[in-house]
Amino acid sequence: MAKPNKKGPTQTVEIYCTGCQAILFQYRKGGKGALVKCFKERISRDYTTQAGVCPNCEAVFARDTLVRGAPAFKMVGGKVRMK
């Protein structure tokens, strides 16, 4: 399978925890769809201290996985929102 484009899109979105509204990532997202996965190479700014855990309320919002051979976070449904 093909790997995701390393350069990726230029538009960035902020990803927030739905429980406590803490900012988690600034992410270069492509497309208009829902946020299902985040490729780690596209995260432009990471505000978390532990991978997949909110730094404020300590809720688990994502799991580590490989998608098309690239490391990524799979988002847990309803735990994050983006602006």
27-68 pLDDT per residue, tens: 999 888 999 999 999 999 999 999 999 999 999 999 999 998
Q: What is the mean pLDDT of residues 2-8?
A: 65
Distance between CA 61 and CA 29 in Å, rounded? 18
Q: For residue 6, is pLDDT > 80?
A: no
For the chain, give every domain's residue range: 12-82
CB 54 within 8 A of CB 20: yes
